[in-house]
């Protein structure tokens, strides 16, 4: 019995496997020889808020440019919404809202007119609803009051918000946001984060890059960690941090004595901050023994516990480096 051959879209779907974004051995070497992305295997599950995390120069924007069909990979493949990129760019992009480093704006036009013009360039956009959609997008990103101001007079954070508004003019299956909170003040960051959560709860998959660990912990369900063009790990955020042991924290007025005893007990990386002493817990010892040793040494222990590991702990454990290393 002969099998029915798969139609082209089905075949592409099969090639993509599970995931809204799937890359296999995706690699980009720039003309100058710089290996910016090195054999990346990424799987972004549907309905996730997926954080793409890495220090400056780790290859985040290069990856996003390949996903959006803006640059060709040197080798490997990328599927977005089940279709190969950049080959299916025309079919895929109408379903994707994107904010990529430094949104292109017309400085002489107002924020509102920039969006009207941007929307008019989209053949899939309905001109009858254009004004209403532009107003709604401006409102969503908190730019309604500044909508009439010329874009050249916008601050970096306002430009970033306008770029985000452009990505929100139509309902999308996928949003790809390159450092969406870049240039925003803390209040602006909170607003954008809550907007991202809201979009996700409406069923949009959100892929966002960031070099801010706590940002990823706050908004993302899943994350991938990059360093120097390579994927270090990916998975649900809770699992990434759970694989790492948290730090032992002792609260005491006798911090120096506590630090000495902890070192004797085999704790590493002992740090004193006023009445708080933290350390990597010893590998081979029960924490109850460590606590008993502190008390036996005359340390007045007011607090003793292991902190939940953060994504930052996981990153340091995985790379052996602090997070803010240049690529
Ligand atoms: N057009 C280009 N030509 C040559 N090299 C490039 C180009 N764009 C980026 N690179 C290099 O590729 C590497 C990855 O850069 P990329 O912009 O993808 O990093 P990133 O993770 O987005 O960093 P950031 O957090 O600073 O935005 C860097 O070493 C960078 O210098
Ligand atoms: Mg970048």
pLDDT over 80 (residue 294)? yes
Which pLDDT band, with edges at 50, 70 and 90, does 105 fall under? confident
| CA of residue 160 to ligand 1 center, whole Å | 19
Percent of the chain with pLDDT over 70: 87
Alpha-carbon span 9 to 121, nearest angstrom: 27
Give residue for tokens 């989209």: 122
**231-245 pLDDT tens trace:** 988 999 888 776 666
**Looking at the CA of 211, which ligand is closest?**
1
Catalogue the long-range contacts made by 254-260 (C-beta closer than 8 Å, 24 or more residues apart). 254/298, 254/299, 254/300, 257/297, 257/298, 257/299, 258/294, 258/299, 258/301, 260/297
- Edge to edge, what strands does the sheet with 268-273 contain? 268-273, 276-280, 248-251, 303-306
What are residue 254's phi and psi, to 5 degrees? -105, 60
Which pLDDT band, with edges at 50, 70 and 90, does 323 fall under? low
**Looking at the CA of 56, which ligand is closest?**
1
Q: Which pLDDT score, from 0 to 100, does residue 322 have?
A: 57
Helix axis angle for 130-140 and 156-167, nearest 10°, is: 130
Q: How do beta strands 222-227 and 75-80 pair?
A: unpaired
**180-233 pLDDT tens trace:** 888 888 888 888 888 899 889 888 999 999 888 778 888 999 999 998 999 988
Which pLDDT band, with edges at 50, 70 and 90, does 307 fall under? confident
Report the pLDDT averaged over residues 71-90: 95
Q: Which pLDDT score, from 0 to 100, does residue 10 have?
A: 44
- Edge to edge, what strands does the sheet with 83-85 contain? 35-44, 21-29, 75-80, 83-85
Minimum CA distance residue for ligand 1 atom 18: 59
Percent of the chain with pLDDT over 90: 59
Lowest average pLDDT, out of 62-76, 98-112, 265-279, 285-299, goes to 98-112
pLDDT over 80 (residue 9)? no
Residues 6+ away with beta carbon under 8 Å from 31 = none
pTM of the model: 0.78
Does the CB atom of residue 30 touch ligand 1 within 6 A? yes
For a substitution probing ligand 1, which of 27, 30, 63 has the most ligand atoms within 8 Å of its CB?
Answer: 30
The candidate with the shortest Cα–Cα distance to 314, out of 207, 177, 217, 206, is: 217
**Ligand 1 atom closest to Cα of 58?**
21
Largest CA distance in the chain: 82
Q: Which pLDDT score, from 0 to 100, does residue 16 have?
A: 46
More confident: 239 or 96 = 96
| CA of residue 155 to ligand 1 center, whole Å | 24
Does the CB atom of residue 56 touch ligand 1 within 6 A? yes
DSSP state of 26: E
For a substitution probing ligand 1, which of 32, 40, 60 has the most ligand atoms within 8 Å of its CB?
Answer: 60
| CA of residue 162 to ligand 1 center, whole Å | 24
Report the pLDDT averaged over residues 281-301: 92
Does the CB atom of residue 36 touch ligand 1 within 6 A? yes
Instruction: Mark the residues whose beta carbon lies below 5 A from ion ligand 2.
Output: 60-61
Mean model confidence pLDDT for the chain: 87
| CA of residue 29 to ligand 1 center, whole Å | 10
Does the CB atom of residue 54 touch ligand 1 within 6 A? yes
Minimum CA distance residue for ligand 1 atom 12: 36
Query: Strand, helix or coil at 22?
Result: strand
Q: Which pLDDT score, from 0 to 100, does residue 319 have?
A: 66
CA–centroid distance for 178 within its chain: 8
């Amino acid at each position: 019995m002969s099998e029915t051959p798969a139609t082209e879209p089905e075949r592409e779907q099969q090639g993509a496997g599970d995931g809204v974004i799937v890359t296999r051995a995706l690699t980009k070497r720039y003309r100058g020889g710089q290996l910016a992305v090195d054999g990346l295997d990424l799987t972004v599950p549907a309905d996730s808020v997926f954080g793409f995390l890495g220090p400056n120069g780790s290859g985040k924007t290069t990856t996003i440019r390949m996903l959006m069909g803006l640059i060709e990979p040197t080798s490997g493949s990328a599927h977005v919404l089940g279709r190969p990129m950049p080959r299916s760019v025309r079919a895929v992009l109408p379903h994707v809202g994107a904010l990529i480093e430094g949104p292109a704006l017309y400085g002489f036009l107002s924020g509102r007119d920039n969006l009207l013009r941007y929307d008019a360039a989209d053949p899939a956009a309905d001109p009858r609803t254009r004004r209403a959609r532009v107003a709604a997008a401006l409102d969503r990103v908190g730019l309604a009051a500044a909508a009439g101001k010329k874009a050249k007079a916008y601050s970096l954070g306002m430009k970033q918000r306008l770029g985000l508004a452009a990505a929100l003019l139509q309902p999308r299956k996928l949003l790809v946001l390159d450092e969406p909170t870049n240039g925003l003040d803390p209040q602006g960051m909170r607003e954008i984060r809550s907007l991202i959560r809201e979009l996700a709860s409406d069923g949009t998959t959100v892929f966002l890059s960031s070099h801010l660990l706590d940002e990823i912990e706050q908004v993302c369900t899943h994350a991938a960690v990059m360093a120097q063009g390579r994927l270090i790990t990916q998975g649900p955020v809770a699992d990434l941090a759970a694989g790492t042991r948290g730090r032992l924290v002792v609260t005491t007025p006798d911090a120096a004595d506590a630090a000495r005893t902890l070192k004797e007990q085999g704790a590493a990386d002992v740090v004193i901050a006023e009445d708080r002493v933290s350390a990597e817990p010893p590998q081979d010892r029960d924490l109850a023994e460590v606590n008993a040793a502190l008390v036996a040494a005359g340390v007045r222990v007011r607090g003793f516990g292991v902190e939940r590991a953060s994504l930052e702990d996981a990153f340091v454990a995985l790379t052996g480096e602090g997070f803010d290393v240049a690529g």
